């Protein structure tokens, strides 16, 4: 059973480190960074992909009008944010154990420079933030020191998608289609589903407008 489970995990997830979205998001999570890649080739590829994304973001920030976007504050020298909270889970403890084996000393404050490549090297050279830290709080606290990286993190560390609404949509269609509606065309089904999902919204809007 263990062998079957392990084989299934490898079959499903062996390729995940080569997916750019996953790799960049993992690197930009201050709790993990580059410490959990199982393949050196995949790690090098992930670093190159992240470097390209950070350079692109830095160019976008430079093209923004003055006063917009993430602005670098050269006097800010903040340390990675660590949030106090509940105790680390057993899985988090396991991650911390792995990190303890590969922890390296970070660069000095004088080595931090505004260039995209140097921001990346500074970020990866620092110890991971740990299981108790909130990645969004980390980037909020360090955006002035690592502006291009913080903006890239805001792009890649978005809320995960959900299939709830699509599943509800399929359920609505299954309620409309039954054996007594054998002549229902796909076009009419689409209209009925649209009305079913959007009519309550329109009624609420009309009710709100009437109250105003």
The predicted-structure confidence for 37-85, as pLDDT tens digits, reads as follows 888 898 899 888 888 888 888 778 878 776 555 444 433 334 444 444 4
Q: Over 80: is that where the pLDDT of 204 sits?
A: yes
| Dihedral in degrees, nearest 10, Cα atoms 195, 201, 206, 212 | 180
Give mean pLDDT, residues 78-107.
50
Euclidean distance between CA atoms 50 and 56, whole angstroms? 10
Q: Over 50: is that where the pLDDT of 191 sits?
A: yes
Higher pLDDT, 205 or 77: 205
CA distances from 160 to 3, 25, 52, 140 (A): 31, 11, 23, 19
- Per-residue confidence (pLDDT) for residue 110, from 0 to 100: 36
pTM: 0.54
139: confidence class by pLDDT, cuts 50, 70, 90: very high
130: confidence class by pLDDT, cuts 50, 70, 90: confident
CA 111 to mean position of chain CA atoms: 28
3-state secondary structure of 162: coil
CA distances from 126 to 89, 94, 144, 209 (A): 23, 20, 16, 54
């Amino acid at each position: 059973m263990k062998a079957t489970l392990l084989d299934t995990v490898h079959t499903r997830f062996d390729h995940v480190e080569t997916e750019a979205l996953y790799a960049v998001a993992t690197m930009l999570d201050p709790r993990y960074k580059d410490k959990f890649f199982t393949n050196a080739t995949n790690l090098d590829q992930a670093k190159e992909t992240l470097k390209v994304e950070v350079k692109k973001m830095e160019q976008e920030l430079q093209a923004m009008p003055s006063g917009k976007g993430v602005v670098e504050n050269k006097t800010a020298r903040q340390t990675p944010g660590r949030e106090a909270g509940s105790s680390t889970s057993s899985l988090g403890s396991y991650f911390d154990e792995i990190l303890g084996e590969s922890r390296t000393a970070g660069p000095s404050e004088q080595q931090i420079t505004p260039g995209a490549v140097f921001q990346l090297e500074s970020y990866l050279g620092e110890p991971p933030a740990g299981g108790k830290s909130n990645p969004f709080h980390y980037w909020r606290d360090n955006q002035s020191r690592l502006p291009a990286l913080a903006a890239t993190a805001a792009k890649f560390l978005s809320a995960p998608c959900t299939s709830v609404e699509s599943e509800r949509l399929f359920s609505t269609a299954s309620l409309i289609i039954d054996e007594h509606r054998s002549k229902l065309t796909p076009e009419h089904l689409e209209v009925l589903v649209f009305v079913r999902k959007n009519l309550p919204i329109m009624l609420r809007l009309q009710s709100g407008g009437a109250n105003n």
